[in-house]
Every structure is written in C-alpha cells, then in structure tokens.
Amino acid sequence: MSATPTEIRNAAAEAACRSAVETLSGAQIVVRLLERQGITTVAGIPGGAILPLYDALSETDRIHHVLARHEQGAGFMAQGMARATGKPAVCLASSGPGATNLLTAIADAKLDSIPIVAITGQVPKAMIGTDAFQEVDTYGLTIPITKHNFLVSSAEELLDVIPRAFTIAASGRPGPVLVDIPKDVQNQRIEVTEWPAPGLPEPAPAADAAAILAAVEMIAQAEKPILYLGGGVVHSGAAPLAVALAEKASLPTVMTLMALGAMPVDHPLSLGMLGMHGARCTNLALDECDLLIAVGARFDDRATGKVAAFCPGAKIIHIDIDPSELDKIKTAHVGIAGDVGEVLRALLPLVQPTLRKRWLSHVAGLKVAHPLQTPGIDDPRTHYGLIAAVAAALDDEATVATDVGQHQMWVAQAYPLRRPRQWLTSGGLGTMGFGVPAAIGAALAEPQRTVVCFTGDGSILMNIQELVTAAEEGANVKIVLMNNATLGLVYQQQTLFYGERIYASKFQAVPDFIKVAEGFGIRAVDLDRADQPRAALAEALNTPGPCLIHASIDRHEKVYPMVPPGASNKDMIGG
C-alpha cells in the first residue's frame, strides 16, 4: 500500500535530511526509493535472483513485507491494495518461475487499469541470454501485459527508473509497470549524492473546450439520454461528479462491472449494471436511449453485447482519459480525451438543470415491469438470500471482493454497493483466484474495514494457499464460499448453449473446506449446519480476523438474465 502525496512529500523531506553522500547497493537504493515513495507494505516471495533486495528490505522497519505463498497471490495482494486505495502498490518476485507466476496478476491489472509496480530479480547481466538457471525473458514476456516495463542495466538507472515506474503506473490511464533488476545491478554499489523526487502522477492534458460545449448542447437536445459509467470514473475519483451530473440533467445511469459503487444502486437514477447479466429494464432502457454519455467506459463486449445493436438509436458522447478508447468500438459523435473528473467538473456548471419527466417516468415504468428477479432473496440459504444477508450484517464501510463465476455475477447484481472502491473484482481478465489474495491486500491497506470475499469452490482452490497468509497477517477478511461443487458458470453455459452436455464442470471430489480452512489456521463457520444462519453469519462477519464462511448452493441455479454470447443485449434469456 502507499501514502497520500503529502505523506510522500513528508517522507521524502525526512529522508532528504539524513542524506549526505552515501555509498549504497542497487538493492538498498530500491528500498530507499520505495520508502521515499511512501510505500509501507509490499507482497512477494524471495528467491536467488532477488535476495540482495530482500537483504536490503531486512534493514528497514518502514516497509512491511507480506510473505505470499505463490507469486500470483503476491500480485493480487498488490492489486487489492491498489484497488482499495487508488495508489500504486508493489509486489516482488524472483527470476524465472517467480516472474512467470506473477504474469496472470499483471495481465489482470493491465485489463482493469490497476496501478501496480512489480519488481523482479533477474540473473546477473553477464548471464542473460545463456539459459542460466532460472533465467526467463521477463522483459519480453511482460511487454504485452504491462503499461511499460524496464530491464535495468545499472544501479544509477534505478534512481530514474523506480520513480518513473510509479509515475507511469499512476498517470493517465493507470496500469501495471514491471521493473526487472539483474542480481549484479542489485549488488552494484554507487555513491548517491542526491535523491530524485518520488514519482507522482502527471496531470492529464486539458480537454478540448469546444468538445465540452458540443457535449453540453447534445445533452440539452436529448430527450432520452442515459449516462454510462465505467471503471475510469472510480479511478479518477469522479463518482460524486458523475452522480451530480446525473441529478442535474436527469440522466438514468448504468454502470459497468468495474464502475459498481460509483452511484449507489438504490439511487433513484441508478439502473445498476448493464450488459450480459444486467437487469432487463437496464438493457431495455439502453435500447431506447437517444443519447449515450459514456464516461470512463470502454464499450467492452460483456457490456455492449452485439455492438451493432447496442443503443441503436443513440448519439454518443464518449469521455475517456485514454485517447485510443475513443472511436475504438463505437464512433463517438463527440469524443473528449481527458481526465473524466476534470471533464465532468467543466461540464457540470454548463449543463442546464432539466427535469425530463417523460423519460424518467418511462424508465421508472420499465423498472417496475422488468426488474431484476432475485428469487429467494429473503432466505439466507439461497444464493441471492445469502448475499443479501451478508450485506444486512455489514455497513457501507465494508469492502466487497469476489472471485470469478456465477457467484461474482450474483453479487454484482444483488449486493447494495454504494461506495466507489467498495467493489474489487476481476473484470477484464476474469481471473479465478483473484478474490482471496485481493481481499487480503485490501484488508492490509485499510485495516479499519471488514473485507468480504465472495468466492466459489472452483475459484478458491486457485489461490487457496493464501489462507495461511491471511492467518499469518491476521487480515480482517471474511471469505464467503458459495459452494455448488461445480464450475458453475461453465455448467450454466453447457446447460444453456451446449445441449446440456455437462463435461468437466462437475467436481467428483470436493474438499472439506471447513477442515481445509482450519488446517490453514483460520476460523471456519458452516452455514449449512447453523440453526440460525443469519445470526451465525452476523457473528462470523463481525468478529475480527480471517474467517471462512461456507454455504452450499444449488448447482442448478443460473445467473439470469443472460445475453447469449454474440447476441444483442435486448435478446436476454431468463430473468
């Protein structure tokens, strides 16, 4: 986890006081630069090629190292810290298998625009290219999955590369940066006379004022506008501005999976999540809109369904910090490249307050006629009911992480998310195994919060080893395991689209997860055996420390509605 800009400056000033000319190793320089950056927690696993860095880490008490049990876990812990706080977080791995084990977490961060800095050890420079023990081309492997990457060739370079890595990770559209440091560079000793400033995010270029005026005009002209919020709204800290715009211009608002929490789901203008598992009313309203205002969203195929049929009658205003997103999937009538917070701040005073009674009452009618169906929501022994019962036992300060599968979509549909950064989920890559380590990272970054992780019996096994890390750290994570003894989302697809040919999706052997959790040293509660499941749940959720909460779910339950892959959003099935 990392600190605020003020804390960073203070830390840097303090560090400056004790800097005369010092002779330091590359490894010590990295540690010092991380301290100056305000980094207080890192997650990783040591190995030969990164031992000099670990040796230097052992000399500081300003950075807490979390020993993950698999590098992918370390990568997702860093993601959890970064997603919860919005600030770059750090993970560490050795060369070869250490680095390859990180790849999935890095790719996941790339697709969801999460700022992490991954530092890997590499074989000594002279051995690069010799197929040395644990040599792998980490630089080459990570080009397509990082925002930027570095192979550092001298200790001096670290003084430039480390702050830049943080600047790049956090500037513009955030993303992962990898720094690969050969062992001899970590050991190289140099004199350091002056320390670079910590790497802070660079301001985004100013948006085109004429385009903003054109957008204002289009909003004024529209009769049936919809506001479409994406993860960029959360990254930019622009959720309150987005809500203010919706209220001022009477804009029914849809959110992508990544944006959930940006507008409270129970806000009167909220239509919740759009797309593949959005409510019917949401996708039907989109089908009718005459103006779509996309803010920090990228027209992902899970959100749009068949693109040609997405909002067929709508003009499009698209605001995004990444110019390459404009016109990528849908050509915008007005495209505005800029930080969405700054653009909304400029737009807001120019937009006329509008009531739009006809459109709002029409949308309200759609909501009544085609709401999200949540059968069993009052019974905590059903999937929706369990989610509602968890929410009822917690307040909005709780953070909600998920793994990937049916459970993830049910939580996205039914958990009353009301706060930006409340919701941590793997959207773009959809990585099973994300949930537990990401929840641990979030809990370490914000120890005052309860972090709930909804997971599945398939997903949890992909990073189950991090349960012992949770135990070791005493992380306040509550893992709600929705156990259907099935790769549920696969089972659902085989049932619906593959003629019920169920293959390789039903587990023959299912572990005793209660024993597994206890074996890893964390408390476990089996709701199946609880006479009072609500009370047992509330007690488990509100007792500090890690806990696994187990609940059986019927494998025949489906996530509905569902837009069949490749179909248009208005052709939903079920729900």
Ligand X SMILES: Cc1ncc(C[n+]2csc(CCOP(=O)(O)OP(=O)(O)O)c2C)c(N)n1
Chain contacts with ligand X (rule: CB under 6 A): 403-407, 430-433, 456-459, 482, 484, 486-490
Indicate the residue among 141 and 255 with the shorter CB distance to another protein: 141
Q: Alpha-carbon distance 554 to 564, whole Å?
A: 22
DSSP code at position 372: P
Q: Which residues contact 381 (CB under 8 A, 6 or more apart)?
A: 527, 533, 551
Under the binding rule (CB under 5 A), the answer on residue 339 touching Mg ion is no
Please choose, out of 320-328, 411-419, 531-539, 543-551, the segment that lies near another protein by the rule CB under 8 A: 320-328
Per the listing, tokens 């804390």 go with 7
What is the three-class DSSP state of 373? coil
Q: Shortest approach of Mg ion to residue 458 CB, angstroms?
A: 5
Contact between residue 128 and residue 136 where contact means Cβ atoms under 8 Å apart: no
Under the binding rule (CB under 5 A), the answer on residue 171 touching Mg ion is no
Indicate the residue among 171 and 426 with the shorter CB distance to ligand X: 426
Indicate the residue among 78 and 151 with the shorter CB distance to another protein: 151
Strand partners, 250: none
Q: Shortest approach of ligand X to residue 76 CB, angstroms?
A: 12
430 binds, among Mg ion, another protein, ligand X, none (CB under 5 to 8 A by kind): ligand X
Under the binding rule (CB under 5 A), the answer on residue 456 touching Mg ion is yes
- Angle of helix 488-497 relative to helix 406-414, nearest 10 degrees, comes to 100
Supply φ then ψ for residue 442, to 5 degrees: -65, -40
Indicate the residue among 64 and 381 with the shorter CB distance to ligand X: 381
For the chain, the maximum distance between any two Cα atoms, rounded to a whole number of angstroms, is 73
Please state the three-class secondary structure of 59-120 as a single string.
CCCCCEEEECCCHHHHHHHHHHHHHHHCCCEEEEECCCHHHHHHHHHHHHHHHCCCCEEEEE
Q: Shortest approach of another protein to residue 30 CB, angstroms?
A: 20
Among 325, 457, 473, 557, binds Mg ion (CB under 5 A): 457
Under the binding rule (CB under 8 A), the answer on residue 324 touching another protein is yes
Q: What is the number of other CB atoms lying within 10 angstroms of the CB of residue 538? A: 16
Indicate the residue among 51 and 485 with the shorter CB distance to Mg ion: 485
Q: One-letter amino acid identity for 42?
A: V
Please choose, out of 137-145, 397-405, 428-436, 538-546, the segment that lies near another protein by the rule CB under 8 A: 137-145
Q: One-letter amino acid identity for 558?
A: K
151 binds, among another protein, Mg ion, ligand X, none (CB under 5 to 8 A by kind): another protein
98 binds, among another protein, Mg ion, ligand X, none (CB under 5 to 8 A by kind): none
Q: Which residues bind another protein (CB under 8 A)?
A: 139-140, 143-144, 147-149, 151, 168, 322-324, 327-328
Q: Which residues bind Mg ion (CB under 5 A)?
A: 456-458, 484, 486, 488
